Amino acid sequence: MNPAIEQLRGLIVSCQPQAGSALDVPETVAALARVAQDGGAVAVRVQGARNIAAARARVTIPIVGLVKRSYEGFGPYITPTPAEVREVAAAGAHIVAFDATPRMRPNGATLASVVAAVATEGAIAMADCATLDDARAAHALGVPIAATTLCGYTEQTAGTPLPALDLVRAFQELPVFRICEGGVHDPRQGRAALDAGADAVVVGTAITNVDWLVERFAAALRPA
């Protein structure tokens, strides 16, 4: 397997503050990425070109980059077209994460055109999947990394318990690097994902989403 992919074994920290949060500025995202690196993360996952560029200046570990962009009338929003792929690569990420579901994409884009754009940029493709069929389709196009990112977030998979350990297990039929992402809120869940066959685990909310953490504590500690 590609040595650059082998570097991803372990904890990947997602540094993606909630939209509108006081943390949602490039300097803070970069600081979160540096804290993740200093704490032992093997990579970080960062959204948005400005945030990726800021993080690239602060860390030496790999960056899994993406651009979240909604297009009216279309479901995919994680790096949905080649245009977003180019933004991610230009910002300094060497791994590009993208929606790998079969849903229609804007501007005539297809899964194949997104994968081809990643290759053109000399980057590594990471398929954010909802199902095993998504991973199969991506693998058929040469994508070496499959993640469970979208399981539970599509119409077909709504209500799936997270972390999506059954999907992690299913990924083992493919010769891909397997990443468990979504719903890992405790180190024990992360270990369970590895035991289920994941090569790496992405943790975001439980580590970097301070807004979520404060809201949980505030709700639990309100006076009766």
Domain boundaries, the chain: 3-220
pLDDT the model gives residue 224: 82
Q: What phi, psi does 163 have (nearest 5°)?
A: -65, 155
Quick one: which H or E segment has residue 13? strand 10-14
**Residues in the chain, pLDDT under 70:** none
End-to-end CA distance of the chain: 56
Q: What's the CATH number for 3-220?
A: 3.20.20.70
CA-wise closest residue to 142 among 112, 120, 168: 112
pLDDT the model gives residue 3: 87
